[in-house]
Amino acid sequence: MPKDHGIGASSKRREDVRFLTGKGNYTADITLYGQTYAAFARSNVAHAKIKSIDTSAAEAMPGVLAVFTGADFADVGGNPAGWLIQSRNGETMKEPKRPVLAHGEVCHVGDAYAAVIAETVAQARNAVEALVVDFEELPAVVDMADAVADNSKRARTELTDNICFDWGWIEDNRAAVDAAFASAPHVTTLELVNNRLVPNAMEPRASIGVYDASTEDYKLYTTSQNPHLTRLLVAAFVMGIPEHKLNVIAPDVGGGFGSKIYHYGEEALVLAAAKRIGRPVKWVADRTESFLSDAHGRDHVTKIQLACEKDGTFLAVRTETLANVGAYLSNFSTATPTFLHGTLMAGPYKTPLVYVNVKAVFTNTAPVDAYRGAGRPEATYSLERVIDMAARELNLDPWEVRRKNLITTDMFPYTTPVALQYDTGNYQATLDKLIELSDKAGFEARAAESAKRGKMRGLGLSTWIEACGIAPSALVGALGARVGLFDAATVRVNPTGNISVMVGAHSHGQGHETVFAQVVSSMLGIPEANIDIVHGDTAKIPFGMGSYGSRSLAVCGTAMTKAVDKIIAKGKKIAAHMLEASEGDIEFADGKFSVAGTDKAKTFGEIAFSAYVPHNYPLETLEPGLEETAFYDPANFTYPAGAYSCEVEVDPDTGKVEIMAFTCADDFGNVMNPMIVNGQVHGGVAQGIGQALLENTSYDGNGQLVTASYMDYAMPRADDLPNYTVDHSCNTPCTHNPLGVKGCGEAGAIGSPPAVVNAVIDALARAGKPVKHIDMPLSPARVWAAMNA
């Protein structure tokens, strides 16, 4: 019988009551007394020297309170990259400055170079149009191959060339990998593009800056996935505000997908403006600003090679990637194509030798950073495509080639040639489950039926793995991270026995408020309704690192369980005193502290009450109160894995792809709330299908984003998507966190794109149109062109 509460139950998302009835409290919903509005002037050219900005007309416009340009921030710091990457030659990566407002030079279309503060949004926008800027256009670097080949055109005038770093992973393995290729019986080579994506969170970015001159306190309401990280960046790196004088609040946040991890200049601007004019300053991006200035995702050009035996046994993998970082280094942009990408290039396979080379390239485009999956979708896509291609070249079944090479259960813990240690998994089990659930056996009959209707049917799969639960701090520190990646939770038991849990993780739609309460409920034996999860406010929560990289439950959830363990331990001491027993004899179960082997017991509520009304309490040896905090730094990454299949029909006349079925067999470790996990997979797969079939971010040769609205940038809609079959019965609990959880937030976006593309290639091949590869998105035009080439 399915559970109806606690761990493992599909408890309804309590946050949906407010989200679905319009009662959410998003940054844009907040109106403060005396609030003013900011609007930004953004570059309409990709690269130019700012010769002058005449603000006088704008300043004279009705309602205008202040105008800011880059000069106002010339003395403050810049927005730093979060990871310092070392190139193969030992040099440290280039880190050109990222100011609050562009100063001297605008570097991409949408780069903000001025801001107007006014009484109303309309006045601020109208005044922006009255700013007179004199740009001297500079050559724009748009295409990565050109950027690398030609040093004479540079994305930033301060650079000597456009390469940020040239990274090898692992450099010491390179010679052995090259040797394996030289003697391999078969080598498959594939060049592919991992298309740039615009994150398109439903809620655009927004910030309100507040300054209290009497206390010198700043407050920033902002759309952030990690308020403490934002506070650290703004306070210590950008503005030089003492950290304790800045309170960052990320209230309800409507999706992030990575794009709201990072600090953006608009956040610093509203704070500086609030101080200058002495009133709160609010800014809410419109959709065009989101397209132009949110950090984009993906954008890799990769050459991947797979060396194997004629029977499909993998011998070595070698990749060369150009990774676009745009015009500025966003906070995680250098980690994404390296440690979240190169380290995954073994996949779930036994491949003994792997070498990855990544060159990060500056271009005059919006910054590119982590986007749902971050590096791991790029790695998975490259691998899963080249494996399919190799199987075709060798006339082998792509399903069986994968099975032959999967790491087997007897090999765990398994250290990959790219330096990760997989603790546990069962990749055969998820593959078998996929074969069953996708009704692979019935595919031929379905294909024949499609053919009768004039359609070409295909079936494709991917077997994927990711590294989540980001991340062991010492390890990432050794690899160049400038932050720790622990998390923290405080469990505050109130005198009447109900509980507030303050967590460092941030929920921007995932459902933490429901799931974290389920976990605490199970551990303490008290109803979920008596537990509230508090997040998103640096004044309330312990210092945590926020949510991304499927880390919330694996890292922050673990901190929370450790804090609960401390509560239980203290409760036992209190109970021992009250029950006149020795602490060692106290057992805790189902919300009761009891003396082993007797019927003497105190309820959790009685213990909580006693902690705050300590009349009968061991005050000499024990502090009153019942509140505990724990910090947790993970011992390893977690390794969710799974097998996905996609079944498509392709229209031979038009190249239109229709998805007929999509099946997911996932191993997320223990599942706390199956309904929420399904929802995460559904959403992730929708994004992956969007990437595979529809989403095309296109800059023209001058660096204009020609797909800067929903007219031209096609997001998947319900009728573009199939009904999914999702299964997570083949789970192997994570071995190094107490809940045994691995994370499920990114899986769908990681596993799905190659399954879709493999299915289309399969459909074409079966119809006698052998096409090696089509780059995403597989628009009807591209599919048609490929099959008629």
Partner 1 sequence: MKPSPFEYVRATSVADAVKALAAHGDRAKLLAGGQSLIPMMNFRMVAPEVLIDIGNIPGLDEITIGDGSVQIGAGARHNVVMASDVVRQHCPLLADAYSHVAHFTIRNRGTIGGNICHHDPASEVPLVLTLLGASLVLAGPKGNRTVPADTFFLGMMETAIAEDEMLVRIDVPFQPAGEGWSFHEMSVRKGDYAIVCAAVRLTVKDGAFHDVRVGFNGAGTETKRMAGVEQALEGKPATDATIAAAVKVAVDLSDPSDDVQADAAYKRDLLSALGRRALEQARARASN
Quick one: how far is CA 490 from the chain centroid?
Answer: 24
- Residue 677: what residue type? V
Binding part of the chain for partner 1, among 382-390, 499-507, 614-622, 776-784 by CB under 8 A, reads 776-784
284 versus 626: smaller Cβ distance to partner 1? 284
For 497, residues 6+ apart whose C-beta sits below 8 A from its C-beta are 526, 530, 604, 605, 608, 609
* Contact call for residue 118 and partner 1 (CB under 8 A): no
* Contact call for residue 227 and partner 1 (CB under 8 A): no
For 430, residues 6+ apart whose C-beta sits below 8 A from its C-beta are 463, 641, 642, 643, 665, 666, 667, 730
288 versus 313: smaller Cβ distance to partner 1? 288
* Contact call for residue 126 and partner 1 (CB under 8 A): yes
From residue 455 to residue 494, what is the string marking binding to partner 1 with x (rule CB under 8 A)?
----------------------------------------
For 511, residues 6+ apart whose C-beta sits below 8 A from its C-beta are 13, 15, 673, 676, 679
* Contact call for residue 129 and partner 1 (CB under 8 A): yes
Indicate which single residue of 179, 717, 729, 770 sits in contact with partner 1 (rule: CB under 8 A). 717
Q: How far is the CB of 122 from partner 1 (least distance, A)?
A: 4
Q: How far is the CB of 781 from partner 1 (least distance, A)?
A: 4
Q: d(Cα 331, Cα 338) in Å, to the nearest integer?
A: 14
Burial class (CB in 10 A: 0-12, 13-18, 19+), 584: exposed
Q: How far is the CB of 294 from partner 1 (least distance, A)?
A: 18
Q: Could you say which DSSP state residue 93 is in?
A: P
The answer to whether residues 316 and 352 touch, using CB atoms and an 8 Å cutoff, is yes
Contacting partner 1 within 628-667 (CB under 8 A): 653-656
Please calculate the CA angle 154-160-161 and round it to the nearest 5 degrees.
55
Q: How far is the CB of 665 from partner 1 (least distance, A)?
A: 29
* Contact call for residue 779 and partner 1 (CB under 8 A): yes
Q: Could you say which DSSP state residue 92 is in?
A: B
Binding part of the chain for partner 1, among 26-34, 535-543, 548-556, 716-724 by CB under 8 A, reads 716-724
* Contact call for residue 780 and partner 1 (CB under 8 A): yes
178 versus 700: smaller Cβ distance to partner 1? 700
Q: d(Cα 727, Cα 674) in Å, to the nearest integer?
A: 9
125 versus 303: smaller Cβ distance to partner 1? 125
What does the block give as tokens for 31? Answer: 């109106």
* Contact call for residue 121 and partner 1 (CB under 8 A): yes
The answer to whether residues 544 and 505 touch, using CB atoms and an 8 Å cutoff, is yes
* Contact call for residue 132 and partner 1 (CB under 8 A): no
* Contact call for residue 125 and partner 1 (CB under 8 A): yes
Contacting partner 1 within 498-537 (CB under 8 A): none
CB atoms within 10 A of CB 596: 11
284 versus 488: smaller Cβ distance to partner 1? 284
Q: How far is the CB of 13 from partner 1 (least distance, A)?
A: 26
Burial class (CB in 10 A: 0-12, 13-18, 19+), 103: middle
Indicate which single residue of 160, 453, 719, 768 sits in contact with partner 1 (rule: CB under 8 A). 719
The answer to whether residues 210 and 219 touch, using CB atoms and an 8 Å cutoff, is yes
Helix (H) or strand (E) holding 356: strand 353-362
Using only C-alpha atoms, the chain has a radius of gyration, in whole angstroms, of: 27
For 433, residues 6+ apart whose C-beta sits below 8 A from its C-beta are 643, 665, 727, 729, 730
Q: How far is the CB of 789 from partner 1 (least distance, A)?
A: 10
The answer to whether residues 460 and 755 touch, using CB atoms and an 8 Å cutoff, is yes
Instruction: Please report, to the nearest 10 degrees, the dihedral formed by the alpha carbons of residues 545, 550, 551, 552 taken in order.
Output: 80
* Contact call for residue 191 and partner 1 (CB under 8 A): no
The answer to whether residues 705 and 289 touch, using CB atoms and an 8 Å cutoff, is no
How many residues sit in the footprint of partner 1 (CB under 8 A)?
Answer: 30
55 versus 696: smaller Cβ distance to partner 1? 696
228 versus 282: smaller Cβ distance to partner 1? 282
Contacting partner 1 within 574-633 (CB under 8 A): none
Burial class (CB in 10 A: 0-12, 13-18, 19+), 310: exposed
Q: How far is the CB of 449 from partner 1 (least distance, A)?
A: 20
* Contact call for residue 769 and partner 1 (CB under 8 A): no
What does the block give as tokens for 34? Answer: 């005396």
432 versus 720: smaller Cβ distance to partner 1? 720
- Residue 748: what residue type? G
* Contact call for residue 720 and partner 1 (CB under 8 A): yes
CB atoms within 10 A of CB 478: 9
Binding part of the chain for partner 1, among 119-127, 304-312, 336-344, 507-515 by CB under 8 A, reads 119-127
For 744, residues 6+ apart whose C-beta sits below 8 A from its C-beta are 550, 640, 666, 668, 671, 677, 680, 681, 728
The answer to whether residues 740 and 669 touch, using CB atoms and an 8 Å cutoff, is yes
Largest pairwise CA distance in the chain: 86
* Contact call for residue 726 and partner 1 (CB under 8 A): no
Q: How far is the CB of 288 from partner 1 (least distance, A)?
A: 7
Binding part of the chain for partner 1, among 159-167, 261-269, 483-491, 780-788 by CB under 8 A, reads 780-788
The SS3 assignment for 160 reads coil
419 versus 660: smaller Cβ distance to partner 1? 660
320 versus 720: smaller Cβ distance to partner 1? 720
Q: Are strands 456-465 and 641-650 parallel, antiparallel or unpaired?
A: antiparallel
Beta-ladder partners of 304: 190, 319
* Contact call for residue 373 and partner 1 (CB under 8 A): no
Contacting partner 1 within 387-406 (CB under 8 A): none
66 versus 778: smaller Cβ distance to partner 1? 778
51 versus 710: smaller Cβ distance to partner 1? 710
Nearest CA-CA partner of 698 in 714, 679, 686: 714
Q: How far is the CB of 714 from partner 1 (least distance, A)?
A: 5
Contacting partner 1 within 258-317 (CB under 8 A): 286, 288
The answer to whether residues 106 and 44 touch, using CB atoms and an 8 Å cutoff, is no
130 versus 533: smaller Cβ distance to partner 1? 130
Q: How far is the CB of 173 from partner 1 (least distance, A)?
A: 41
The answer to whether residues 300 and 194 touch, using CB atoms and an 8 Å cutoff, is yes
User: What are the φ and ψ backbone dihedral angles of 281, each rounded to 5 degrees?
Assistant: -125, 125
The answer to whether residues 350 and 405 touch, using CB atoms and an 8 Å cutoff, is yes
Binding part of the chain for partner 1, among 99-107, 118-126, 314-322, 662-670 by CB under 8 A, reads 118-126
63 versus 477: smaller Cβ distance to partner 1? 63
130 versus 308: smaller Cβ distance to partner 1? 130
Helix (H) or strand (E) holding 208: strand 206-212
Q: How far is the CB of 43 from partner 1 (least distance, A)?
A: 16
579 versus 714: smaller Cβ distance to partner 1? 714
Contacting partner 1 within 685-714 (CB under 8 A): 694, 696, 698, 706-707, 709, 711-712, 714
* Contact call for residue 781 and partner 1 (CB under 8 A): yes
Q: How far is the CB of 784 from partner 1 (least distance, A)?
A: 5
- Residue 692: what residue type? A
Q: How far is the CB of 659 from partner 1 (least distance, A)?
A: 13
Summarize as ranges the residues that interact with partner 1 (CB under 8 A). 121-122, 125-126, 129, 286, 288, 653-656, 694, 696, 698, 706-707, 709, 711-712, 714, 716-717, 719-720, 779-781, 784-785, 788
